[in-house]
Structure formats: C-alpha cells, structure tokens
C-alpha cells in the first residue's frame, strides 16, 4: 500500500504514500537566501522515492527564525532569491516528487541571540533549562502585528507558488508561533485571538483562507499541528480534535500530526526527563509504542472527526507497520525524516523491495555506557546524549548539502561539537548582517 498513489482533495496526484517530513536544515548563508547547498541536498532527496518532499521550515520574518541559517522570505528581499527558489523546485521535482514549502514563524522560540524580545500571543516566557539554549522575554502582540504575520504567511505562500513549488505547509506545531496561539498555557489573550479554541485557532484559519484565496483551489495547502503539547495545561488531545474539526471545514488538503514543544521535545522522541525542563508532563499512551509511530493513536481519534487525508510522522520504520496504519485507516500518508539523513535513497529501496525496514541509528548514537549513557544519573549527561544524537542527523544533512554522501562513522560527540561551532558562527554572522 505504501507504493499506491493518492489524489488530494485539491486534485494533486502524489505518486506514493511517503513524505519526507520537514527537518531544520540551517544551510542558508548570512543573507538567509536559498543557495547551492539547498540544491545539492535536494538533489539527493529528489531520488529518495518519497512522493512529497517538505522543506525545512522557511521563515516569514527574519527577526523570528528558528535558527540563524534558515531560509527566509520577505517582501523587501524575495526577488533576490527567486532564481534559486525556482532551481530548488526544479531539481527537487526532477524524479517525480512534489516539493512543498513549510512556512513558519518561531515566535517565543526564537533564539535569544537573535531577538531578545520576540513576539508571541502573550508575554509567557519559555520554561526551559537547557545548556547553550537562550530565549528572550516574549512580548504580547498587538492586533496590528497579528495581521502583519498573517499577511506574511500569505505572501510567502504566493512566492512559493510563483517559484514552482507544488504546495505549502503551515507549521502550527512544536511550540512555534501558530502553535503558541493554539496553546492555552501560552495564549492568555482575552480578545478575539484568545480564550476558547475557536478564537485561539483564528490566526491559523485566517492564514488558510488568505492562502486559498491567493493560491486557488487546485494548490495543496497542508497544516502541521500537535496531537498534544504533552504538558499539563497546554494544548491537549481534546484541543487537537477540535482544531481538526475546524481545519476539516476549511478544506485543507493534508493534516500532519506531531507533538511537543521545546519545553517537551516529543517530536524528537526525547525521554520524559532530560534534566532540562521543569514543567509537569502529560503521560503518553503506551499503546502508541506498539504501533511504532509516536502519534498514531492520536491520529486514530482525529480520523473520527474529519475526512481529509492525514499524515503521521515519527517512529515508522517497517513496511509492515506502515501498511498496517494505512490499511486500518489511521492515516493516508507516512512521514519519514531521520532515515533520509543517513540513507537518502532508503524510501526507494523499501518501495523496490530491497529492504523491509528503514535504517535506524538511534541506539548507536550514544556517548557511552554507564554514567555516560542516555540513562545516566547526571542531568547534563542525559541532555548531552540527546543533543549529540539529534545533531548527528543535522551533520549528515550538511554533508549532503556539500555534495557528499552521509558519513555513518561520524561520532555523536564530534557532531555535537561541530554543530555548536556552526551555531556560534551563525549567530555571530546574523548579528553582523542585521
């Protein structure tokens, strides 16, 4: 079943049920433009076999980015990168995949080195204690600023269409701005943009409606939301179901289910306690583990209230589990991320029957055993294990961006040190550019 095509509500035909889900790339230069490294990277992924290729989060405001080397599209500079944007789309779709641009605004999760006073629905700071992570004091947005953000999303979506991209995804998960509006513990507003779930969804709905009006009825609009923030008092599974109902009535083409925020990084399959957070956590359903995918059980609940295609990302590895999820109607699209960092063509290999399981390197990406293991009694060591594993995949992305195949022998500690060095330079260059 994973090899079967699917026709989206807008009419676009996707060649199979796989989507390369969005991962942060951080390979733009000081100007935050698309460059040759993006073309190199997506030349690899164009041969991945995936029906949809989702870009890493393309930002709509340079002062509110997830990282210093993100791509950013703004009215004042977009024309300077149109040529490269068109090349990005062309090379990505050269083997039959559809390239969709993921659009995002980091909100209060903008690194403090880039913005000490980021905009957010309310002035609720991040509750996180992580080595090397700094975040500013968020400032509650005015209504004028909310309208500006909505218009920025719509404008960037128009640029994506004009550049030859085949669809867009609005990132409303993982604690970024659109996710912040949805979360009652972050959105404390008492006006028409806060309070009941309909009001907290208003900004997202206005973006979708504006994009549909500008892009037409035959251009895919996707949304990514959390199944839950996995935090007491945060965006709950019940909230997620209500938002799904609202999005279903807006006739989007694909809904991706994920979960977590920087305060609880469930979307990266982090442990419950990394020693870096202090907020109480929601208990996750054990039944999810048996089905491989982290958020599949939530997708089942959402499926009951909406009739648009669902995509679940995170944890899928075997063809058997993927086909089971599709057959049982839990989802229509399988999201794959980390396996495409270590083996860029692994989806095609699975479709061709050369493998029955996607590669997994998480178990070997540890600093050591005993007190150096991910189960170390020391909080800092546990956090270092998590970050080094995460950064190992970032390193492989950058190797492909340089035109090289992934280096599977590259050590996790080396990856950790390398990425910290790259981030330091990125923040330094960003400050110079601004």
Domain segments of the chain: what residues? 6-366
Helix and strand numbers (H, E) in the chain are: 14, 13
* Token representation of residue 180: 């912040």
Question: pLDDT band at 131, cuts 50/70/90?
Answer: low
> Facing residues of 190 across strands?
none
Contact in structure between 342 and 396 (CB atoms under 8 Å): yes
Count CA atoms within 13 Å of residue 164 on its CB side: 14
pLDDT at 122 over 70: yes
Question: pLDDT band at 284, cuts 50/70/90?
Answer: very low
Mean pLDDT of 114-127: 94
Name the CATH superfamily, with its identifier, for domain 6-366. Answer: Aldolase class I (3.20.20.70)
Q: Mean pLDDT score of the chain, rounded to an integer? A: 88
Strands 13-14 and 139-140: unpaired
pLDDT at 415 over 80: yes
* Cα gap 108→134, rounded to integer Å: 11
Strands 52-54 and 254-258: unpaired
Question: pLDDT band at 266, cuts 50/70/90?
Answer: very low
- Collapsed DSSP state (helix, strand, coil) of residue 304: coil
* Token representation of residue 161: 């269409």
Residue 42 buriedness (CB in 10 A; 0-12 / 13-18 / 19+): buried
pLDDT at 339 over 90: yes
Q: What DSSP letter does each residue of 49-63 carry, written as one string?
A: --SEEEPS-EES-TT
Q: What is the pLDDT of residues 36-78, one digit of tens each?
A: 999 999 999 999 999 999 999 999 999 999 999 999 999 999 9
Mean pLDDT of 288-297: 57
pLDDT at 276 over 50: no
Question: pLDDT band at 287, cuts 50/70/90?
Answer: very low
- Collapsed DSSP state (helix, strand, coil) of residue 21: coil
Beta strands in 243-376 (DSSP E): 254-258, 310-313, 333-336
Size (the chain), residues: 434
Question: pLDDT band at 239, cuts 50/70/90?
Answer: confident
pLDDT at 283 over 50: no
Q: What is the pLDDT of residues 4-41, one digit of tens each?
A: 999 999 999 999 999 999 999 999 999 999 999 999 99
Question: pLDDT band at 307, cuts 50/70/90?
Answer: confident
Question: pLDDT band at 142, cuts 50/70/90?
Answer: very high
pLDDT value of position 95? 97
* Token representation of residue 232: 């007491």
Q: What is the pLDDT of residues 193-238, one digit of tens each?
A: 999 999 999 999 999 999 999 999 999 999 999 876 555 556 777 8
* Cα gap 409→229, rounded to integer Å: 34
- What is the pTM (predicted TM-score) of this model? 0.91
pLDDT value of position 40? 98
% the chain with pLDDT above 90: 68
Residue 326 CA: distances (Å) to CA of 16, 19, 87? 12, 14, 34
Residue closest to 134 by CA, chosen among 109, 100, 99, 103: 109
DSSP-derived secondary structure letter, 219: S
**Highest-scoring range by mean pLDDT, 122-136, 220-234, 304-318:** 304-318
pLDDT at 335 over 50: yes
pLDDT value of position 360? 82
Question: Could you give the angle at the alpha carbon of 398 between the alpha carbons of 393 and 402, nearest 5°?
Answer: 145
* Cα gap 22→53, rounded to integer Å: 8
- Please tell me the least confidently modeled range out of 31-45, 160-174, 373-387: 373-387
% the chain with pLDDT above 70: 87
- Collapsed DSSP state (helix, strand, coil) of residue 257: strand
Matching residue, tokens 């062309």: 90
Strands 6-7 and 13-14: antiparallel
* Chain center to CA of 361: 20
Question: pLDDT band at 278, cuts 50/70/90?
Answer: very low
């Amino acid at each position: 079943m994973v090899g079967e095509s699917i026709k989206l509500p807008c009419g676009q035909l996707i060649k199979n049920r796989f989507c390369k889900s969005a991962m942060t790339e951080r390979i733009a230069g000081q100007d935050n433009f698309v460059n040759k490294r993006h073309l190199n990277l997506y030349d690899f992924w164009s041969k991945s076999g995936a029906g949809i290729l989702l870009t890493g989060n393309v930002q709509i405001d340079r002062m509110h980015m997830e990282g210093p080397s993100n791509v950013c599209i703004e009215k004042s500079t977009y024309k300077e990168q149109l040529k490269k944007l068109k090349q990005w789309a062309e090379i990505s779709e050269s083997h039959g995949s559809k390239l969709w641009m993921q659009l995002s605004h980091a909100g209060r999760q903008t690194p403090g080195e880039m913005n000490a006073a980021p905009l957010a629905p309310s002035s609720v700071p991040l509750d996180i204690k992580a080595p090397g992570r700094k975040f500013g004091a968020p400032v509650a947005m005015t209504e004028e600023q909310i309208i500006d953000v909505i218009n920025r999303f719509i404008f960037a979506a128009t640029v994506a269409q004009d550049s030859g991209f085949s669809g867009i995804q609005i990132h409303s998960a993982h604690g970024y701005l659109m996710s912040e509006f949805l979360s009652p513990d972050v959105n404390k507003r008492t006006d028409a943009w806060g309070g009941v779930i309909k009001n907290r969804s208003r900004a997202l709905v206005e973006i979708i409606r504006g994009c549909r009006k500008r892009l037409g009825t035959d251009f895919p609009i996707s949304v990514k939301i959390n199944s839950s923030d996995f935090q007491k008092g945060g965006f709950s599974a019940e909230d997620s179901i209500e938002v799904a109902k609202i999005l279903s009535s807006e006739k989007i083409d694909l809904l991706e289910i994920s979960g977590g925020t920087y305060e609880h990084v469930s979307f990266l399959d982090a442990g419950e306690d990394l020693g870096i957070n202090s907020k109480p956590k929601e208990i996750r359903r054990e039944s999810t583990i048996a089905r491989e995918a982290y958020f599949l059980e939530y997708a089942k609940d959402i499926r009951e209230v909406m009739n648009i295609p669902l995509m679940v990302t995170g944890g899928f590895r075997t063809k058997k589990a993927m086909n089971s999820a599709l057959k049982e109607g839990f989802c229509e699209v399988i999201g794959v991320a980390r396996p495409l960092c270590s083996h860029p063509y692994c989806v095609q290999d699975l479709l061709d029957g050369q493998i029955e399981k996607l590669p997994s390197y998480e178990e070997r990406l540890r600093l050591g055993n005993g007190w150096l293991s991910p189960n170390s009694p020391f909080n800092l060591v546990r956090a270092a294990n998590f970050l080094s594993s995460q950064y190992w995949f970032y390193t492989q992305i950058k190797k492909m961006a340089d035109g090289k195949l992934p280096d599977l022998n590259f050590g996790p500690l080396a990856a950790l040190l390398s990425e910290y060095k790259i981030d330091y330079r990125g923040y330094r260059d960003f400050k110079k550019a601004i």
